[in-house]
Amino acid sequence: MNPVTADPAAVERVLAETGVERVVPPPGWTGYLQVLVDAVTERFFSPIGQTLAGARGWFGPIATIVVAVAVVLVVWLFLASLARRRTDRAPASDVRRTAAAPPSPQDARAWREALERRLESGQVGPALEALWWWLACALIGAGAAERSWTSRELVARAGRPEVAGPARELDRWLYGPRRPQVPEIRELLARLDRVLA
């Protein structure tokens, strides 16, 4: 069989009529991202896939799904911890201002004023600290609270079970994964004011 040469005029006419693109577009960022994902997938999942390919019956597909879910969970936990660290960091000026002159633990009024100032400036972490110390001073008074106590321990030592609900919420904010917004702190403060009145 001999090769046949194409009619250049006919090829040009067909390309013009069909509107075929003749220039390869440059790759975009999604192309680079796809190549990166493919490379990571090939590097990390290919050995696992080869190992699991030898498994018989239903075990292979289930094991592949379990490994994929585990990898996604680890990545999600890592990203969540990064996000948490970023939101927990206060600007350096806020930290210095808070650490420079904290109110005395004996003074509930000073902690209340510090709480209001911190809420006004949107300092959630320092506001929660001031709320805890204000509650401690209001419940057990002058200097009897320990910095290491949770709100639950504070309520138990004060013998004030009616404060347990708001105290649990304060502990969730102090030690849990979610930081509240300023309006939520104000709402909790209002509930505590009503309970303590």
Point out the residues of the chain with pLDDT beneath 50. Answer: 90-103, 105
pLDDT of residue 95: 39
pLDDT of residue 59: 59
Nearest to 60 by CA among 71, 49, 69: 49
Stretch (H or E) spanning 13: helix 8-18
> Distance of CA 154 to CAs 72, 107, 171, Å?
40, 16, 11
Contact 140, 111 (CB under 8 A): no
Q: 144-150 contacts: CB < 8 A, separation 24 or more?
A: 145/105, 150/174, 150/175
Instruction: Give tens-digit pLDDT for 142-158.
Output: 577 788 888 888 888 88
Q: Where are the domains of the chain?
A: 28-88, 93-196
Model confidence, pTM: 0.48
pLDDT of residue 51: 61
pLDDT of residue 184: 94
